[in-house]
Structure 1
Amino acid sequence: MKFVEADWDSELHGFRLDAGAYLAELPRLRPQLPPGARSFASDPEHYDIGGATRCVKDLELAGVHLAVDKSGGLVLEFAPNKWKHGSGLRITYSGVRHFSIEYEHSIDWMGVDTVLLDEILPAEDGGCLHEIVLTDASITVRCQDLEAVWGDTG
């Protein structure tokens, strides 16, 4: 990610998370983002790690659904963390040009991959780049736009 920090800190024996630089850039980036991405990134609770129910931190990756046709559709589902969220999150991407998940498999004491933080940047073609850092993996999606909906992901 370009602005958001979400890295393992061996001295702290935990993750160092900081969205401050991204939040400082967001007013400049916002007009360049497609409508759905702009709305999701601009949600005041998105980066409120201290307890907001619509903060992405601690959501659990629950499903990845790729379109089998050439429509460029992709859906990522995230289950709520029972200690923090009242509902899960479903992100539906349109016009997907790139999708990847890179696993590190270095943290073997966690049963599921959970979201640390994410970042949405404008792409040169008018779309966006969405990067999501998980506890043991990272997801990258290049698309035309996305729609993020909080609710039942089942």
Structure 2
Amino acid sequence: MEYVDLDGQVGDLSGVLDPALYLSHLPSISGDLPPGAWAFATDTDHYDFSSRRCVKDLTLRAVRGAGGEEMEVEFRHNCWKHDQDLLIRYTGVSSFAVDPVDEDRGTDLGSVLLDEILPHRDGCSHEIACWGGTLTLVCRDLQATWIETICSSES
């Protein structure tokens, strides 16, 4: 990640997730991000750790259309924090990579730490850091949709 700090420092506490630099950088790239990416990146709940629509702690559930120009990435809610799943649809995908910390994990990347959306010559790049690795897509644009779900002991 270029601006989101996954290993920040607050006083004597290290390993703090800190999107502050990214959030302060967003206004300067407002004209360079496609509309859907801009809407998702600037949603007031996106980086609010206490919000039910913060991406932190979601879990990668499915990747559909890998290798194609249209892809979907679905994230599962975490019942103690979220009451919705997140579906991101990517259009005009020109690059897709899964980089697991451990090759045995495959696409099981664990829960989301944070993400970062930046301008790219093809539209935008979306890097999603998880405990077990990183998912990165480059696309023309993306559309993020929160989907109601039911939390239960089986969720």
Q: Report the secondary structure of 1:82's partner residue.
A: coil
Structure 2 contact 109–134 (Cα < 8 Å) conserved? no
Deviates more, 1:36-45 or 1:25-34: 25-34
Instruction: Give 1:113 deviation, angstroms.
Output: 0.5
User: Which residue of 1 is the match for residue 130 of structure 2?
Assistant: 134
User: Which residue of 2 is the match for residue 120 of structure 1?
Assistant: 117
User: Which residue of 1 is the match for residue 58 of structure 2?
Assistant: 59
Q: Percent identity?
A: 44
Q: Report the secondary structure of 2:118's partner residue.
A: strand
TM-score, length basis structure 2:
0.84
Separation of aligned partners in 2, 1:8 and 1:115: 16
Separation of aligned partners in 2, 1:104 and 1:8: 20
Separation of aligned partners in 1, 2:3 and 2:109: 25
Instruction: Please tell me the root mean square deviation across aligned C-alpha atoms, in Å.
Output: 2.6
Separation of aligned partners in 1, 2:109 and 2:128: 15
Instruction: Give 1:112 deviation, angstroms.
Output: 6.3
User: Which residue of 2 is the match for residue 34 of structure 1?
Assistant: 34
Unaligned segments of structure 1, at least 5 residues: none
User: Which residue of 1 is the match for residue 2 of structure 2?
Assistant: 2
Aligned length: 145
Q: Report the secondary structure of 1:61's partner residue.
A: strand
